[in-house]
Amino acid sequence: MLLLKQTMTRLTDVFRDVFDDDSLNITPNTTADDIEDWDSIEHITLIGAVEEEFGMKFKMGEVSGMNNVGDMLKIVMERGK
């Protein structure tokens, strides 16, 4: 199990890379509506980048079932490296 704080930092870095915005901050409550460029196409990039960063793979149901950053965080903390 990964630690919350470190995971959040790494996750923030991934978001900043994908959305090319170094000032971007996320919280567990952040959703696609909060980030302008977070559309269905960038969602695919984001999933790929998070998988790469944490050396894990989301299951199909998880990809379609995530509602906010918190959902993603939970899975990553459990299964990420």
Contacts with another protein, residue ranges (CB under 8 A): 14, 17-20, 37, 41, 44-45, 48-49, 52, 60, 63-64
Whole-number minimum distance, CB 51 to another protein, in Å? 9
Whole-number minimum distance, CB 46 to another protein, in Å? 9
Residue whose CB is less far from another protein, 20 or 33: 20
SS3 readout for 7-19: HHHHHHHHHHHHC
Residue whose CB is less far from another protein, 29 or 67: 67
- SS3 label, residue 42: helix
Alpha carbon distances (Å) from 48 to 18, 40, 43, 74: 10, 13, 9, 17
